[in-house]
Each structure stands twice: as structure tokens, then as C-alpha cells.
Amino acid sequence: MNVIPLSDAPQGEVLYVNEIHSKGAIRRRFQDIGITEGTNIVSVIKSPLGDPCAYLVCGSLIAIRNNDAKNILVSLRR
């Protein structure tokens, strides 16, 4: 299993959240919107300048800054 930061994830792939290294309020916010260990997430849209990016999580489209996305480790679902 190849684990990569969410910020480096290929667009359109279904990903599995392995770990979240964020702390405090941002970790709590991720939990509130459904990003937890074991969740599936899809990288949907990369903005023209590359930041932020949009991800599909639990049926909702969520924009996450690359600075925050790099703290979420994911692997490809095959």
C-alpha cells in the first residue's frame, strides 16, 4: 500500500484515509465534515493555481487548502 499526502493525490481516484496528522481545531473540523481514518475521499477538482482543491467526502464537495491536505495521508483504493 502506497501512502501519500492528500495534496499529492491524483484527480478522480477513490482514496482511503489512513492517517490524519493535524491537531486541534483543524482536526476537529475534518472530523465534523466526515474526514476520519477509514473514510473514502475523491480528489475532484484542482484549482487553476493548484490551491485549494475540492474533494468529495461523504456526498459533500469540500475545498481544502494544500497546506491542510498534506497532513492527511491516503492510499489508492484498488
Q: What is the pLDDT of residue 46?
A: 86
Rg for the chain, CA atoms, rounded: 11
Instruction: Give the CATH number, domain containing residue 33.
Output: 2.30.30.90
**Domain that residue 20 falls in:** 3-76
Instruction: Note the pLDDT tens digit of each residue in 43-62.
Output: 998 888 878 999 999 999 99
**Beta strands in the chain, from DSSP E residues, in sequence order:** 3-5, 14-20, 40-46, 53-57, 60-64, 72-76
Burial 8-40 (b: 16+ CB within 10 A, else e): ebeeeeebbbeebebeeeebeebeeeebeeebe
Question: 65 pLDDT exceeds 70?
Answer: yes
pTM of the model: 0.88
Number of domains in the chain: 1
